[in-house]
Amino acid sequence: MAFLHLSAFRASSRAAIPLPTTASSRPSSPAVQIRALNRFDNWVDDFRSKSLSLVLSGALTLGLSLSGVGIAEAKVGVNKPELLPKEFTTVIDVAGFLSDGQERRLTQEIAEIEKETGFKLRVLAQNYPDTPGLAIRDFWQVDDRTVVFVADPTFGNILNFNVGASVDLDIPRSFWSRLAGKYGNIFYWKEKGEDASIEAAVMAISSCLREPVGANNCSEVK
């Protein structure tokens, strides 16, 4: 599987894009330069949106990690439905990162999010290749209003997200990259612990999903 890291790619690539010039080789106007950058931004957003849909394939290890730079080594998809719990739960911790108390708190928070917003947050904590994989799609009945949050430190940044189409309409895509950058980076979870990264991310998502939709919603990672 390949994790594509696009946030920093956007920043570094923007500086490297040659801006169009006129036939006389004079520098293009600011308006033309802005249009060129906007076209590139639209291409990146479209690519990111398509890549997000892949996170559920390849045992939830193929997809888009929304922070960092570079492409991780490809991994073969794993599907181990026997790792699923016997009863339904919105938090599955096959890696053992969370205490029983933390699982209960996150489960309660997720229930309140769904009740208040209609959006479904689902959390899977794993260490590749120990993952239930694609089996969680049916277990959780993943749909367009679902955010699947996979906490897996295998590739450095522990926070990975698959965002349903309806959620994507209301939440800026930049939110997920900033969230991963703040609470998912290896320095944070190495110092604070994987459980701290997971809890902080869930609370940030909870705050974001409750904000009124608008130009500045989810502009801060809390």
Task: Give a yes or no: residue 217 inside a domain.
Answer: no
Residue with structure tokens 């990264």?
197
Give residue 30's pLDDT: 55
Give every strand in the sheet of 63-65, ordered side by side. 63-65, 3-5, 70-71
Task: Give a yes or no: residue 149 inside a domain.
Answer: yes
The predicted model scores a pTM of 0.70
- Going from the C-alpha of 175 to that of each of 36, 67, 165, 198, the distances in angstroms are 24, 11, 15, 16
Which residue segment(s) compose the domain that 30 sits in?
A: 3-210
Task: Give a yes or no: residue 216 inside a domain.
Answer: no
Task: Give a yes or no: residue 110 inside a domain.
Answer: yes
Per-residue pLDDT of the chain (222 residues; tens, 9 = 90+): 333 333 332 333 333 333 344 344 445 555 545 555 555 444 444 443 333 333 444 334 333 333 333 333 445 567 889 999 999 999 999 999 999 999 999 999 999 999 999 999 999 999 998 999 999 999 999 999 999 999 999 989 999 999 999 999 999 999 999 999 999 999 999 999 999 999 999 999 999 999 998 888 898 898
Any idea of the CA torsion for 127, 4, 218, 179, to the nearest 10 degrees?
A: 40
User: 3-state secondary structure string, the chain?
Assistant: CCEEECHHHHHHHHHHCCCCECCCCCECCHHHHHHHHHHHHHHHHHHHHHHHCCCCCCCCCCEEECCCCEECCCCCCCCCHHHCCCCCCCEEECCCCCCHHHHHHHHHHHHHHHHHHCCEEEEEECECCECCCCHHHHHHCCCCCEEEEEECHHHCCCEEEEECHHHHHHCCHHHHHHHHHHHCCHHHHHHHCHHHHHHHHHHHHHHHHHCCCCCCCCCCCC
Token pair in block for residue 147: 């955010």
Task: Give a yes or no: residue 215 inside a domain.
Answer: no
Backbone angles phi, psi at 205, to 5 degrees: -65, -40
Task: Give a yes or no: residue 221 inside a domain.
Answer: no
Q: How many other CB atoms are there within 10 angstroms of residue 20's CB atom?
A: 12
C-alpha span between 190 and 207 (Å, rounded): 24
C-alpha span between 107 and 92 (Å, rounded): 10
Domain count of the fold of the chain: 1
The CATH number assigned to the domain holding 8 equals: 3.10.310.50
Beta strands 146-151 and 159-163, pairing class:
antiparallel
C-alpha span between 2 and 6 (Å, rounded): 12
Backbone angles phi, psi at 122, to 5 degrees: -130, 135
